[in-house]
């Protein structure tokens, strides 16, 4: 069994090269393949052009064991992927009867009264002898072609032999994500798991309060010494993610441990055991700056911490103008902790709604520690909440001065009678400064409850 | 002068191959290059691996005149793009003094009191003799390398010659979109316009209130008859964009007409003349559903309409939880029209802040036309604003019932004593429903002032 299978993801469609659609398929397939222990060394996108698609196949199979395509399987004239693939492997095409039946059944059941689209049968055409993955959410099935000299048409045999495709696989999937993603998860993944010699498990530690270089220097020796697991920091707007990935040679599953075809649970546990000591060491070094792991968001962490401690929250936002409230309300069930939010961009609103005194505004200005503190306390009291969180700052592009430059932000936090203020100098355009401010404000709250 | 320049977009970063980030940069650059008349035949993504990156350069330059990379320009050890490029072109590297000064000045002005990150100087390293594009939103400058035998180091001369790079260009841009996109628009576009044999001019008409298929059928005959200009509809969340593009053979600019390097104004005017009649026809058919063109956002349209009419605005948001306020505050100078926003997710807040009566809430529920109207009127009166805009709905995933399903949304608008309410049934997950609601609310306001 191979221990390192190399895959290339080849997305087909002129709309990608025109920038009319963003290539989410490549990201989805990359995540899934990484979890299966298949290494992705390259993404390639080409248009609906037979010559350039054939060249892309040739280049991909120079390096890759498996090439996975998305797009170009439909019935219209610019859907050419499977025909170019058939030529490339020296195969004729045929109608796949079962797919043809599925397609007509689908239209009978779901599109009664509608005319059958032109050429719908073309969805069922496949290269002779190809394996088919059913499409439960659309017409065009997925297709897997494996090189087989026996099937090769004589006129193409020699040129196909020269491509040295022995043992290589081409998997063609439909372009629409709502068709491709379930097809991959339900059928293709199990098929590929059998081919992979490794199981990969990873944890992503999410960090706020240190830049990428600072995180990297803090972990320098670990990163330099990394073999298995590997450690990789990624910079995001306002935060840094550290991904720790462990691999394990794959063992044949025992029925007792295997919950689904191809899943070896003991393997996954073993790999997870490799992650624990490294992650513990990162926690020891970066401590509370790690706010969560994997898909848990900062807002989720804050909302569940407030729920756990039976604390209620009120917000007073100036330059963020509702961004923080929107992140809280994005969490289902936030209503039990979120009293209300005040978007007080104007001084009048800060005075009327939050009881910030005109003296404070006059003496220190709207962007000051004093105003931030008064806003937080005012929001908590007006809303009858345990906690008030406030933001006031200069998001730019205008309004900056020598002593109060664009990017200067104060975050106020009032918790049961106690005031605290944090000051930040942020870089970026108006929208980046506002986004970072919202993140730092939520993180200030996270560290305080 | 070439009439068809071929470009390849090469995105660099292991996080792309792992699927940790979606490749928005390739989509942005593809759109911009199409508008400049540069043909993109391929996207390629490779990881932070010197050998595979060098191979990608070699393959890209086999077909392309211009290769544009994003990513790998930073100061950390896995940022290798510019070093691999220098080797590929046979160049030594040097510190670019002006960039070095900019970087330190940036930290002095905005990071007072913070330590300068380790290796920050590495951001200013470039291949010897390369052209630099300033980074106004980050540290690492953009870099343009043009093959020049004179600069080639002797030990590499022969292998570089064999690559046949005569007249070819490598443009390296930073990975973070908020750094890369303005750099491209402000500096790289004018530079590339010089190289292109065609002038492309396009107008994007932005539509709210019709789906993509409805827009397409309304314009079917125009789309079928299109040659120059071309017409292409694109579906976005909550809106549809129709891009109309005209092309013109490029003439050498006359100083008198050229306002900026690489801009041939007569050309652009000629192409613009081709656009006008087609756009007029689209306006005639879709009328007020077109809210703006090109980069003008819905929030900008609303803010300037309110400014023009000397009207002030207050917001009351339930399920959107501050999204609408955040869009308004995103517009610099909104303070003259935006009084304040109330995020009243709870019934208590709707009662205390907006004066919604307990009877209304009891009789009709929080998600009802009556509550929406009361929220809008209450917000306007509490804030002393001319206009109150409110939103209340069921964003899901829970809380839906048979007669009030997930996606049911009411938008209330109170303008100088008059109440109006719009009802929507929206599809999608919690975040899509909230985003669409915010768009429809702002559009309701736009159509009413």
Angle subtended at Cα A172 by Cα A166 and Cα A174, rounded to the nearest 5 degrees: 180
- Please indicate whether residue A26 or residue A287 has the higher confidence score (pLDDT): A26
Query: Do A322 and B321 lie within an 8 Å CB cutoff?
Result: yes
Query: Do A345 and B340 lie within an 8 Å CB cutoff?
Result: yes
Task: Report how far residue B280's alpha carbon sits from residue B294's, in angstroms, rounded to the nearest whole number.
Answer: 15
Query: Do A427 and B137 lie within an 8 Å CB cutoff?
Result: yes
Q: What is the per-residue pLDDT across B239-263, written as a single tens digit (0 to 9) for each?
A: 888 988 887 776 655 443 434 444 4
Spatial neighbors of A27 by CB under 8 A, at least 6 apart, are B16, B19, B21, B22, B23
pLDDT at B300: 97
**Residue from B9, B20, B37, B184 whose CB has the most chain A CBs within 10 Å, to mutate:** B20
Count residue pairs from A and B with Cβ separation < 8 A.
260
Query: Do A321 and B332 lie within an 8 Å CB cutoff?
Result: no
Mean pLDDT of B227-232: 84
Question: Contact at 8 Å (CB) between A314 and A379?
Answer: yes
Instruction: State if pTM tops 0.90.
Output: no
Q: What is the per-residue pLDDT across B340-355, written as a single tens digit (0 to 9) for each?
A: 999 999 999 999 999 9
Taking CB atoms and an 8 Å cutoff, what residues of chain A touch B234? Answer: 20
Mean pLDDT of A372-401: 96
> Pairing between strand A387-393 and A66-70?
unpaired
Query: Do B110 and A17 lie within an 8 Å CB cutoff?
Result: no
**Confidence at A264, pLDDT banded by 50, 70, 90:** low
Nearest CA among A140, A195, A146 for reference residue A171: A146
**Confidence at A197, pLDDT banded by 50, 70, 90:** low
The string of DSSP codes covering B283-339 is HHHHGGGEEEETT--HHHHHHHHHHHTT--EEEEESTTTTHHHHHHHTSTTGGGTEE
Q: What is the per-residue pLDDT across B87-100, written as a single tens digit (0 to 9) for each?
A: 999 999 999 999 99
- The fraction of chain A above a pLDDT of 70, given in percent, is 92
Among A124-128, A215-219, B91-95, name the one with the lowest average pLDDT.
A215-219
Give the closest-approach CA distance of B224 to chain A in angstroms.
16
Q: What is the per-residue pLDDT across B387-421, written as a single tens digit (0 to 9) for each?
A: 999 999 999 888 899 899 999 999 999 998 999 99
Give the closest-approach CA distance of B429 to chain A in angstroms.
11
Nearest CA in chain B to A336: B346
Task: Report how far residue A344's alpha carbon sits from residue A72's, in angstroms, rounded to the nearest whole number.
Answer: 51
Nearest CA in chain A to B19: A27
Among A216-230, A423-437, B7-21, B224-238, name the one with the lowest average pLDDT.
B224-238
pLDDT at A131: 95
Mean pLDDT of A31-48: 90
Taking CB atoms and an 8 Å cutoff, what residues of chain A touch B329? Answer: 319-322, 343, 345, 434
Range 209-248 of B in CB contact (< 8 A) with A: 232, 234
- Please indicate whether residue A149 or residue B62 has the higher confidence score (pLDDT): B62
Query: Do B138 and A427 lie within an 8 Å CB cutoff?
Result: yes
Mean pLDDT of A247-274: 62
- Residue A331 — φ and ψ, nearest 5°? -90, 115
pLDDT at B136: 92
Please tell me chain A's helix, strand, coil percentages from 3-state DSSP, rounded to the nearest 5: 45, 25, 35
Nearest to B332 among A241, A325, A397 (CB): A397
pLDDT beyond 70 at B174: yes
Task: Report how far residue B300's alpha carbon sits from residue B103's, in angstroms, rounded to the nearest whole number.
Answer: 33
Among A105-114, A221-230, B171-180, name the one with the lowest average pLDDT.
A105-114
Could you give the C-alpha distances from A289 to A209, A215, A275, A309, B335, in angstroms and in order?
Answer: 6, 10, 19, 20, 35
Taking CB atoms and an 8 Å cutoff, what residues of chain B touch A70? Answer: none
Nearest CA in chain A to B434: A330
**Confidence at B363, pLDDT banded by 50, 70, 90:** very high
Burial class of residue B335, CB neighbours in 10 A (0-12, 13-18, 19+): middle
pLDDT beyond 70 at A255: no
pLDDT beyond 70 at A257: no
Question: Which is it for the CA torsion A229, A233, A234, A240, positive or negative?
Answer: positive
pLDDT beyond 90 at A140: yes
Taking CB atoms and an 8 Å cutoff, what residues of chain A touch B106? Answer: 427
Spatial neighbors of A153 by CB under 8 A, at least 6 apart, are A90, A91, A92
Range 379-418 of B in CB contact (< 8 A) with A: 383, 396-398
**Confidence at A116, pLDDT banded by 50, 70, 90:** low
Query: Does ipTM surpass 0.90 in this model?
Result: no
pLDDT beyond 90 at B2: no
Nearest to B326 among A237, A323, A339 (CB): A323
pLDDT beyond 90 at B270: no
Q: What is the per-residue pLDDT across B123-168, written as a single tens digit (0 to 9) for each?
A: 999 999 999 999 998 899 999 999 888 877 777 777 788 888 888 9
Mean pLDDT of chain B: 89
């Amino acid at each position: 069994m191979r221990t390192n299978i190399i895959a290339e993801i080849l997305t087909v469609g002129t709309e990608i090269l025109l920038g009319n659609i963003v290539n989410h398929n490549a990201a989805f397939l990359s995540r899934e393949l990484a979890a299966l222990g298949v290494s992705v060394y390259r993404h390639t996108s080409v248009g609906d052009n037979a010559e350039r698609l054939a060249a892309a196949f040739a280049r991909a199979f120079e390096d890759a064991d498996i090439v996975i395509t998305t797009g170009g399987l439909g019935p219209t004239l610019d859907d050419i992927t499977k025909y170019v693939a058939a030529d490339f492997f020296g195969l004729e095409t045929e109608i796949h009867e079962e797919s043809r039946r599925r397609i007509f059944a689908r239209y009978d059941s779901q599109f009664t009264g509608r005319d059958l689209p032109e050429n719908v049968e073309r969805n069922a055409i496949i290269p002779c002898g190809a394996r088919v993955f059913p499409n439960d959410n659309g017409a065009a099935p997925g297709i897997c072609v494996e090189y087989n000299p026996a099937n090769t048409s004589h006129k193409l045999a020699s040129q196909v032999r020269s491509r040295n495709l022995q043992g290589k696989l081409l998997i063609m999937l439909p372009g629409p994500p709502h068709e491709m993603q379930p097809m991959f998860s339900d059928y293709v993944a199990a098929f590929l798991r059998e081919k992979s010699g490794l199981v990969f498990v990873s944890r992503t530690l999410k960090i706020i309060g240190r830049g990428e270089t600072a995180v990297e220097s803090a972990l320098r020796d670990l990163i330099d010494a990394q073999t298995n697991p590997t450690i990789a920091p990624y910079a995001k707007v306002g935060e840094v993610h550290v991904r720790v990935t462990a691999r394990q040679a794959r063992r044949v599953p025992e029925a007792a441990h295997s919950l689904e075809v191809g899943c070896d649970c003991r393997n996954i546990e073993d790999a997870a055991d490799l992650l624990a000591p490294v992650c513990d060491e990162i926690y020891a070094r970066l401590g509370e700056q790690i706010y969560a792991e994997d898909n848990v968001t900062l807002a989720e962490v804050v909302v569940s911490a407030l729920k756990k401690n039976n604390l209620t929250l009120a917000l007073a936002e100036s330059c963020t103008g509702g961004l923080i409230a929107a992140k809280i309300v994005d969490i289902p069930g936030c209503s039990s902790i979120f009293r209300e939010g005040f978007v007080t961009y104007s001084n009048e609103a800060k005075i009327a709604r939050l009881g910030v005194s005109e003296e404070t505004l006059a003496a220190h200005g709207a962007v000051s520690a004093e105003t931030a503190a008064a806003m937080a306390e005012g929001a908590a009291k007006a809303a009858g909440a345990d906690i008030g969180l406030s933001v006031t700052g200069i998001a730019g592009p205008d309004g900056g001065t020598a002593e109060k430059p664009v990017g200067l932000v104060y975050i106020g936090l009032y918790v049961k009678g106690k005031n605290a203020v944090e000051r930040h100098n942020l870089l970026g355009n108006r929208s980046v400064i506002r986004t970072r401010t919202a993140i730092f404000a939520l993180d200030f709250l996270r560290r305080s409850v």
